[in-house]
A = this chain, B = another copy of it.
Amino acid sequence: MLKFFYAPNTCALASHIALRQAGADYEPVRLSFADNQQRTPDYLAVNPKGRVPALATGKGILTETPAILAWIAQTYPAAHLAPVDDPWAFAQVQSFNAYLCATLHVAHAHRMRGYRWASEESSFEDMRRKVPQSVGDCFRLIENEVLKGPWVMGETYTICDPYLFTLAQWLELDGVSPDDLPKVADHRRRMCELSDVKTAIDIETRK
B126 close to A120 (CB less than 8 A): yes
Of residues 164 through 207 on chain A, the ones whose CB sits less than 8 Å from some CB of chain B are none
Partner of A102, one of B68, B105, B130: B105
Of residues 30 through 60 on chain A, the ones whose CB sits less than 8 Å from some CB of chain B are 48-49, 57, 59-60
Residues of chain B within 8 A (CB-CB) of A75 are 87
A92 to chain B, nearest CB (A): 7
Secondary structure at the A interface, as helix, strand, loop or mixed, is: helix
Partner of A110, one of B49, B95, B117: B117
Of residues 70 through 109 on chain A, the ones whose CB sits less than 8 Å from some CB of chain B are 70-71, 74-75, 87-88, 90-92, 94-95, 98-99, 101-103, 105-107
A95 close to B59 (CB less than 8 A): no
A65–B97 CA distance with the chains assembled, in angstroms: 11
B102 close to A106 (CB less than 8 A): yes
A145 at the interface (CB under 8 A from B): yes
A22 at the interface (CB under 8 A from B): no
A148 at the interface (CB under 8 A from B): no
